[in-house]
Structure 1
C-alpha cells in the first residue's frame, strides 16, 4: 500500500519525522519498502508572480515578462501566452530544472528566429483530452508540461 506522509501524520496524530515513522512501522512488523519524494522531481519549478508583461520587441506573438519566483529576484522570461499580464501567477521553470518524462534540462538562453504557429494535431488532441484549449505551439507546449 502507498500512503502519503500527511495522511499518516493526520491518522497517527503525531509530529514525528519521516525517519521516526518509518522506523516505528518497521519495528512493529509493517515493512516500509521505500519512500518516494514525488515533489523532488519538481524542485526546479516555482509558482511565480508576474511583475510586468510587455510585447516582445522582436516578435509578434511573444511576451517579455519579469517574474518573481518567490525569492525577490526578478527573472526575465519570454512567454508565448497572449494572456500573460502583470499581477497573475503561474508556474516558472528555473534554469537547470529537469522536466520529468522528457529528459530535458532547461538552461538560460537566447531565442532567435523563433516561429510560432499551430501545434501539431497530436498535441492539440492531447491538450483537449486533458481539458485544455489548444492556442499555439509555444503556449501548448507550456500547457502540456504544466497540466499534462
Structure 2
C-alpha cells in the first residue's frame, strides 16, 4: 500500500508538472511512466506538456515516454493504451477524450494494477468511474462558459 501511495504521489507530480511546467525532488529512480494523449502530432499544445513532464521525470529519476495516435484516431488511442498496459509501466497518465471509446482500455490498465491518473480532457467523475487515482484538469463546460462570459463582457 505504501508503494502505491508513493506511485500515486509521483504520478500526480508528473501530471501536474506536465501541465504547469514545474519540477520536483528525486524519489523515483528508474521508474517508467507513460503519458498517453489523444491529440494528433500536429497539435503543438502537447509540446509544453511533454517538456514539463520530461523535466519532472528527470528531476525525480524516472523516465516518461509519450504516446499518442499520430492522426488523433481514438481507436488507435485504445490500441496504444492496451499495448502500454501490456508493458506494465510503473504508471500511466492519460486523457479521456471520449469515455465510451477509451474507458474500457483505461479500466483494463487499472485492473492490471497499474496506477493511472487522468489529465486534461474528461472529468474527475469519469476518472473515478474508470478507477483512476485522480484527475488533473478543469471542468471543460465551466471553463468554456466562463471564457464566453469574459469575451461577452469585453465586447468580443
Q: TM-score range by the shorter chain?
A: under 0.3
More strand by percentage = 1
Query: Which one has the largest radius of gyration?
Result: 1
More helix by percentage = 2
Question: TM-score, normalised to structure 2's length?
Answer: 0.21
Question: TM-score, normalised to structure 1's length?
Answer: 0.22
